Amino acid sequence: MIKTINLSKQFSGIYAFKNVNFHLKKGEIHGIVGANGSGKSTFLNVLFQDRNIHLTGGYEGKIIFDGEEMKINTTREAIELGMGKVYQEFALVNSMDIASNIKINSNNFVGSSNEKTNKDFLYIDKKKNEQDAAEILKDMGIKVDVKSSLENLNVSVKQFIEIAREISNKNLKVLFLDEPTASLNKEDTDIFMKIVKALKEKGISIIFISHRLDEITELCDEVTVFRDGDVVANYQKDEFDVEKIAIDMIGKKVSKAVNEHRDQTQKKENILELKNVSIIEKNNKVISDINMEIKKGEILGITSLAGHGHTDISYAVMGIHKVEGDIVYKGEKLNTSKTDKTIESGIVMVPDERKERGLLLESDVTDNIIYTACYSKGKFLKYPKLKGLSLLDKKRIKETVDESIKEYNIKCSSPQQKARELSGGNQQKICIARAVITEPEVLFVSEPTRGIDIFSKEIILDTLVGLNKEKGTTIVMASSEIDELKRICDRVIVMYEGKIFDILSPEDDDEVYSLAISGKRRVEHE
């Protein structure tokens, strides 16, 4: 279906990938794996004729699509050929309803068009679009009102809407999936797997990029491994070996981070308390009557199914959402209306939505790493007391940024490269680096390893454990990755329908966790 011949792409003289010879067969699911910055997503962008590829000098080599050399240069033409793509970061229009998003590339029109009457003179058949969208979602097993807005939907539903948009193209032959399960919990991932397998049965060819190697080995017929822009290995189904693939990706064996210094958290004093806290959004309670004690120096985990509230606690504390109830920090009520003062006091957050809330996309790596520490805490100023009137300490900034790039393995051409140009995983590492250099007393991290390769995941988890052990930083980690929470947390709060459902130990088995996140009580045995 797709064949590439010596395909290469460079940015500013540096190759994202070079001389890639790749085959995608008809009706095949082909996995592509590799560390962050290895060239995977850029490879898909070239195949899909992303606009930025052509704005940065195009590409070298040939792409053969369905037997013919591809000579197009727009995504619109790629869609018309029969390609579709689900992006790592959502490509949805929030101001439009669900049906309009699903049918955006395949609208139904009222009227008729010919050579004399252009489609510009027709109008969209909204009712037929809604019928089509509802039918597609029904076939996928997703229950949602297609007339409703995207604004209040959880990330898993948005991901399914992205897939539905591509399925809506009746000419679909090839589907590119770039980290589609990064924001999904296990239950939603199972639904996704069924959908993808059904697409394969219909003869659609799929390229699937994921850092979750268990999903790769379950779904794919073949796997290609990228490392530093080169194809270093290729495996057929009967050759799959997760450990071997992981070593090929990184070039060495990866050790898992473990918190071996867990304390009896019940003996510690509270550093932060939530008393009857609720988040109100458009007159609806996102989380309701939360009472939570966060102990000084602990690593506290919070988990739930998507949309049940585990990532919302940090937004409440940081004052990003309207809050009812009291938040007490070091014995005093926190004024959540002044986020800058909250940061100054020692509470910092790494959000789960890195592009929307965590990055200055048009600024460079340096600015993104130092921004919070500089402007909220007065670090990197030659004369801190003058604040906005002070010169920046450029030597100290350079030393800190260079150390962060090395420590977190941030793949960038230079500290002056724009954040927008980096892979999602490297953008996430910048968010972590920026938070850590503020030297917080309480650090909230939401989905810190989402879309991160297996090596970088352990770097981030090791960083959190080290920060907690060496500096006594209290860490609150909201994540849907149960295994990671159990490895580094002192205790884990499980939320269900916006409320605290249970508090579990890292020693509790996976079945207990699965029951709790589904709102079911564990059966106690005598």
Measured distance CA(137)–CA(274) in Å, rounded: 39
Whether residue 114 is predicted with pLDDT greater than 80 in this model: the reply is: no
Q: Do domains 255-346+441-526 and 357-439 have the same CATH topology?
A: yes
Terminal C-alpha separation, the chain: 60
Give phi and psi for 320, each to the nearest 5: -80, -30
Q: Which residue has the higher pLDDT, 119 or 501?
A: 501
Residue 468: predicted pLDDT? 93
Select the CATH number that applies to the domain covering 2-250 from these four: 3.40.640.10, 3.40.50.300, 3.40.50.1260, 3.30.565.10: 3.40.50.300
Do the strands 222-227 and 14-24 form a parallel or antiparallel pair, or are they unpaired?
unpaired
Residue 150: predicted pLDDT? 84
* Superfamily of structural domain 357-439: P-loop containing nucleotide triphosphate hydrolases (3.40.50.300)
pLDDT tens digit sequence for 425-458: 889 899 999 999 999 999 999 999 887 888 888 9
Ordered by start, the domain boundaries in the chain are 2-250, 255-346+441-526, 357-439
How does DSSP classify residue 384? G
Residue 455: predicted pLDDT? 85
pLDDT tens digit sequence for 452-482: 888 888 989 999 999 999 999 999 999 988 9
The Cα-based distances of 432 to 3, 371, 405, 470, 486 in angstroms read: 38, 12, 11, 17, 20
Residue 526: predicted pLDDT? 39
Lowest mean pLDDT among 93-97, 309-313, 389-393, 506-510: 389-393
Give phi and psi for 6, each to the nearest 5: 50, 45
Whether residue 120 is predicted with pLDDT greater than 70 in this model: the reply is: no
Residue 525: predicted pLDDT? 42
Lowest mean pLDDT among 121-125, 211-215, 260-264: 260-264
Residue 118: predicted pLDDT? 60
SS3 194: helix
Class (C level, CATH) for 255-346+441-526: alpha beta
